[in-house]
Amino acid sequence: TGSCQKMMGIGLCTYESSIVKALPAVMTQVAVATNPTHYGNPSTGCESDEVAVRVSGLSGDFCSPKCNSSGICPKDMPKGDTAVPECALRTTTGDKYCGLVCRSDSDCGTGSCQTSLGVGLCTYAAADAARPLQLLPAEAAQIIV
């Protein structure tokens, strides 16, 4: 027969074993950090509706949500950013993603403004171990700056 043991406020059923005596389990609580806004640095985690992306031709990466069906992007940005959220990226299969369109590094808070096909995007230094989604800049006609 078993008994209920409380550990850190959680009930845990335990059973006596004649074969092996288990060591007490140690429970730890792990906090997973994520950015408090969209378009943050993937090294600190992306929002639940974002993916880490790296734009073809740029060395940095950033968190990017999909554009909605009207081509609108979330407006919340990291502190210090003044760039404009735009539906400016696409995958090779046609899915559209948002990015912060910038003109200079000062538009990107702690990131940097990198240009591809004449469009500046706020990016963060890429971590070598990261495997972000590879995106392409959308055609210039799709970008409203």
pLDDT digits (tens, 9 = 90+) for 81-119: 999 999 999 888 889 999 999 999 999 999 999 998 888
Percent of the chain whose pLDDT exceeds 90: 43
pLDDT of residue 25: 36
CA distance 133 to 123: 14
User: What is the mean predicted confidence (pLDDT) over 37-53?
Assistant: 91
Q: What is the mean pLDDT of residues 58-72?
A: 92
| Distance in Å from the first CA to the final CA of the chain | 69
Reference 44, options 97, 112, 110; nearest CA is 110
Q: Which residues pair with 4 in a beta bridge?
A: 13
Q: Which two tokens stand for residue 29?
A: 């609580």
Distance of CA 23 to the CA centre of its chain: 38
pLDDT band at 20 (very low <50, low <70, confident <90, very high): very low
Full-model pTM:
0.67
Angle at 47 between CA 43 and CA 50, to 5 degrees: 90
Whole-number pLDDT of residue 44 = 87
